[in-house]
Amino acid sequence: MNDPTKLWRIYAHEDLKVALHAVSAGWLHAACFHAQQCGEKWLKALLTYYGQPVPRSHDLDYLVD
């Protein structure tokens, strides 16, 4: 698979599934971590979709700017 946007979306969806499972198990710290990861990967998917470079950052504010 060579479509970076699709890859980021797949990774984001995986993190979302893990976050939802963590919530149902009561693992709130893990749920928050994976929810943040999901948001980060969706932002990176949007960047690739619009042809923008994807910075190596985990800072959501930075990725939004």
pLDDT tens profile 13-65: 999 999 999 999 999 999 999 999 999 999 999 999 999 999 998 888 888 88
Type of residue found at 47: L
pLDDT recorded at residue 61: 85
Q: How far apart are the first and last CA of the chain?
A: 28
Expressed as residue numbers, the domain containing 32 is 4-64
Residue 6 binned pLDDT confidence (cut-offs 50, 70, 90): very high
Q: Residue 1's pLDDT is what?
A: 55
Quick one: pLDDT at residue 60?
Answer: 84
Q: What is the three-state SS of 1-65? A: CCCHHHHHHHHHHHHHHHHHHHHHHCCHHHHHHHHHHHHHHHHHHHHHHCCCCCCCCCCHHHHHC
Structural domains counted in the chain:
1
- CATH number of the CATH domain containing 39: 1.20.120.330
